[in-house]
Structure 1
Amino acid sequence: MTNGCPEYHYVAYIDESGDDGLKAVKPVSNPGASEWLILSAVVIRAENQREVPNWVNSIKSEFRNHQRPDIHFSGLNPAKRQRACEIMANLDARYFIVASNKKNMQGYRNPAADKIPSKNWFYCWMTRLLLERVTKFVYDKSISQYREPKKLRIEYSARGGLSYPQMSAYYEWMRLKKHNPYLPWGHISWDVMHFDLMKIYPHHDREGLQLADVVASAFFKACDKHDTGQCDPTFAKILSPRMARDPDTRSGQCSGFGVKLMPSLEKAKLDPDQAEIFNFYGYPKQWWCPKASND
């Protein structure tokens, strides 16, 4: 225990690009919310926490005339974006993204939303999909290295309307719920999670969240064509060496695990330029949790 919190051996930094608006969604409606919501996770071993500020400083040191104290992918020119991703492609970390193409969800309301103790049900559901993959990765690594599950600290980037009580209440609700008739869940490895290890911080306060911003925004730029100009998959492709695979080997499967698209590639009806990044990472083939359940 450290300061009343359980000991942990891994850390996940979670950020997003796009928004979770569903009332009006581009390109179905214009104006409207972003067509995409992309959540990312940067996962490291806890012993590397002290190195994260050095990693971010090494990226900033490559930039001329960088006035900001932090890194925001959207504020970087293409050359700086490329250099940031090149450096991140060599860090001792694993990256995950879940990408939701929202145009088929315009006006949708989750029929179970009133039963979920959180106002941000869509964001929470997206983090659920992300953590199915992150916790499996951490669980497998724990068993391999320590022969028992080890805890994961989760740090979220503060965003509009997100609160720790809402987020923790949602996960507690999902953990205790034995059956959900609306959505076929995968499997969260609850053995590696603890609610006292879930934290929310401003983006500029945590260098790890700035790394997660780069990952989320690189993939947003790869498939968005309504808010950031034409699609450019260059940056997301550069991150390939560190995108998570199952198993965690060079030949492991990335599509559906480290890179997860919702809905399926066929149902998303993406334009060819939007689909390029998902094809690059192995779609239409995709991984699915071998322990699928309704927990």
Structure 2
Amino acid sequence: MYTVVIDESGDVGLQNVQPDPSPGPTQYFCMCATIFNEDNRQKILAEIDPLRSKKGDIHASQMSHFDKVNACRILAQQPIGMIGVMSNKLSLLAYLSNAQKTNTHYYNKVTQYLLERVGEAISTLSSA
């Protein structure tokens, strides 16, 4: 059995998007999935729990650059897989009328792309 943890970064707004850096909505929307085999959960937790016990449960925006780099080094050594989708919203402006049909249309489309990649990865891992 595999566990998949998904998080996103950026703003899903497509109106008034300007090239970054800009004061408006960010040009990019990103989603990432971390995949790990449940058999490895205890090993992974044993490695990352010291990070959590030092600072408590905090968001990356509250971590120093050094702490982020240290966390990445520890995570990179773990038996996990990561898959990301980065969407450049400026390339989707022709899609704007479709994306505004519902307020979650664009978010759901990016999620669909990510989940398709996750499904492929798990299928590959399961058949190995």
TM-score strictly above 0.5: yes
What residue is the counterpart of 2:80 in the other structure? Answer: 93
Q: After the TM superposition, which residues 107-256 of structure 1 pair with which residues of structure 2 at under 5 Å, given as runs? A: 108-109=95-96, 111=98, 114=101, 119-144=103-128
Give aligned-pair identity as a percent.
Answer: 30
What residue is the counterpart of 2:48 in the other structure? Answer: 56
CA-based RMSD: 2.6
SS of aligned partner of 2:5: strand
Question: CA shift at 1:29, angstroms?
Answer: 9.6
| 1:25-84 alpha-carbon deviations (Å, 9 max, x no partner) | 1328954211111100000112334455434313235x5xx3xx3142222111111101
Inter-partner Cα distance in structure 2 for 1:113 and 1:24: 13
Per residue, is there more helix in 1 or in 2? Answer: 2
TM-score when normalising by structure 2: 0.82
Q: Structure 2 vs 1, CA of residues 29 and 106 (structure 1 numbering), >3 Å: closer, same or farther?
A: farther
Contact map agreement 1:28 1:103 (CA 8 A) in 2: no
Inter-partner Cα distance in structure 1 for 2:23 and 2:77: 39
Inter-partner Cα distance in structure 1 for 2:21 and 2:79: 41
Inter-partner Cα distance in structure 2 for 1:46 and 1:23: 41
Inter-partner Cα distance in structure 2 for 1:139 and 1:120: 28
Per residue, is there more strand in 1 or in 2? Answer: 2
TM-score when normalising by structure 1: 0.39
Question: CA shift at 1:14, angstroms?
Answer: 0.3
Letter in 1 for 2:8: E
Mark the runs of 5 or more structure 2 residues left unpaired by the alignment.
none
Letter in 2 for 1:77: S
Paired residues in the alignment total: 128
SS of aligned partner of 1:111: helix
1:105 lines up with 2:92 in the alignment: yes
